[in-house]
Structure 1
Amino acid sequence: MSWQSYVDDHLIATGKICKAAIIGKQGGVWAASAGYDLSQAEQNFITQTAFTDPDTVRGGGITLNGFKFMTIQANPDEVIGRKGERGVFLIPTTQAILVGEYEGTPAGDGNVIVTKLADYLKGVGY
């Protein structure tokens, strides 16, 4: 299965996640939903800061695709942001980081979708 299929079929197709990406921990976007263009600075933040410097993440928020979220939670296992009806989950796996945004759906529903895929990828070594 291609990385794009994971984004399209396991995140976006659920109807709970509206924008998503899979980013390699060593850098680079492996796959992203249509129109979800993370800048190099946003990618660097995800791979280099989001899970290692929680104070910076909490203080500065999370900007993705030009939209800034307030940080709700920042720890080595998950970073959560929210602003209004929109929210985001950043969840690391062994080799990648999943990014899943939701809008207009309960946060818990979005979290379950992204976490489920992250757990699967960890289980198969990714």
Structure 2
Amino acid sequence: MSWQATGKVDKAVIYSRAGDSVWASSGGLQLGANEIAEIARGFDNPSGLQSNGLHVQSQKFMLLRADDRSIYGRHDAEGIVCVRTKQTIVIAHYPPTVQAGEATKIVEQLADYLIGVQY
């Protein structure tokens, strides 16, 4: 996927907006059914994420931001960026060597592109 060329994201996955199917994946990132369901619900009602954080590959991330478009989480120096588009949920992981703002910019730009092409 093109975001890997930036070096700001080390693994990512694109789910359907409902979170019931994987459309694309790289770097081996895949969430459990309960993990993607938790994130999908969090866009509309972030209270569960605010209370419990979000979970990706059995790792708990502290919630930094949650609204109807974007969810950001952090664990130590690594993080997760989730962005919902018209038809997808893009989830990307960035390593400790990357600043959060650098990774979020890449993922948000990809989401803007997908929205622009009606995805």
The TM-score, its normalising length taken from structure 1, stands at 0.87
Structure 2 residue 98 is the aligned partner of structure 1 residue 105: yes
Runs of 4+ in structure 1 displaced over 2 angstroms? none
Deviation string for 1:91-122 (max 9, x for gaps)? 01110011011112011100110011000000
Deviation string for 1:56-99 (max 9, x for gaps)? 11111010111110001111121110011111111011100110
TM-superposed deviation, 1:42: 1.2
The gaps in structure 2 that reach 5 residues or longer are none
What aligned pairs does 1:42-61 form with structure 2 within 5 A after superposition?
42-47=35-40, 49-61=41-53
Letter of the structure 2 residue corresponding to residue 62 of structure 1 = L
Instruction: State the Cα RMSD in Å.
Output: 1.1
SS of residue matched to 2:31: coil
The TM-score, its normalising length taken from structure 2, stands at 0.92
Q: Percent identity?
A: 35
Equivalent position of 2:71 in the other structure = 79
* Matched positions, count: 117
Letter of the structure 2 residue corresponding to residue 17 of structure 1 = V
SS of residue matched to 1:16: coil
The gaps in structure 1 that reach 5 residues or longer are 1-7
